[in-house]
Copies of this chain bind each other. A is one copy, B any other.
Amino acid sequence: MRIDINCDMGESFGNYRYGADEEIVAHITSANVACGFHAGDPLVMNRTVALCVRHGVQVGAHPSYPDLLGFGRRDLAATPDEVRDYVTYQVGALAAFARAHGTRLSHVKGHGSIYNMAARDQGLARAMAEGVARADPGLLFVCLAGSAMVGAGDEVGIQVVSEVFADRAYNADGSLVSRRLPGAVIHEPAAVAGRVVQMAVHGTVRAISGEVIPVAADTVCVHGDTPGAAALAAAIRAGLVEAGVSVEPMAGRP
């Protein structure tokens, strides 16, 4: 039994500071680093990759729609060609910083709306996967477990990593409960840690409707921009270790 813990990082921009990267980096195994489209800038990217390397954390790209003003969280009617090329551009930009620090990117995980739209839309999922493969076919493609992205990665021939969310409620069909609905986010640390252990050990999660559903959990996402994020990540990690799950960097499906 093994699982990766990933977290978004490098979301500062210019004069603006965001997140608690220096604290959270100690508790994760993979970082999704912003690439300048929703957050991040070249100096922040350089600093963030350096931080990850110092802590032995795997570096991945976190591409987004080009929407700094909306932090990449607003749906945008970009075409599949635009999505594909936006991904390639951002992955390439971050890959250069990885090289500058003597490492290589391990994975790509879409940010915000580009991730959510690709999870629902086969064409966008395919475009994302192609954007990854064109930048580097050896990269892992982090996909919402059970979503359209998984099939797209398979079609394009890149390795897929199935992602679960530590503090989000699931619908019975395996999709995430919308943040606009009550109960969408689970706040109690012990409950969060317990759910992650169940997902990692048993490959199941209790949906908001009550039934227990299967879920593939190669990596679990923790959030770095909420108060107490580092403590929550530490609690999740401790829970996993106690349950005998090895917390280690993500690797694609063989």
Which A residues are within 8 Å of any B CB, using their own CB? 13-16, 18, 36, 39, 41-43, 45-46, 66-71, 73-78, 81-82, 85-86, 88-97, 99-100, 113, 134-136
With A75-B76, A92-B96, A93-B92 in contact, do A85 and B16 touch (Cβ < 8 Å)? no
| Residue from B14, B15, B69, B97 in contact with A92 in the complex, judged by beta carbons closer than 8 Å | B97
**Residue among A73, A74, A136 with the most chain B CB within 10 A?**
A74
Q: How many chain copies? A: 4
Q: How far is the CA of A143 from the CA of B241 in the complex (A)?
A: 55
Residue numbers in B under 8 Å from A41 (CB-CB):
69
| Residue from B45, B82, B91 in contact with A85 in the complex, judged by beta carbons closer than 8 Å | B45
CB–CB A96/B100 < 8 A: no
Q: List 21 A-B contacts (CB under 8 A).
A: A15-B18, A15-B39, A41-B69, A42-B85, A42-B86, A43-B85, A45-B89, A46-B85, A46-B88, A67-B76, A68-B68, A74-B77, A76-B77, A77-B113, A85-B97, A88-B97, A90-B93, A92-B95, A92-B96, A96-B136, A99-B136
Residue numbers in B under 8 Å from A18 (CB-CB):
15-16
**Residue among A46, A82, A92 with the most chain B CB within 10 A?**
A92
Task: Report A34 CB to chain B, min CB distance, Å.
Answer: 11
Task: Report A4 CB to chain B, min CB distance, Å.
Answer: 24
Residue numbers in B under 8 Å from A100 (CB-CB):
88, 134-135
Q: How far is the CA of A70 from the CA of B100 in the complex (A)?
A: 23
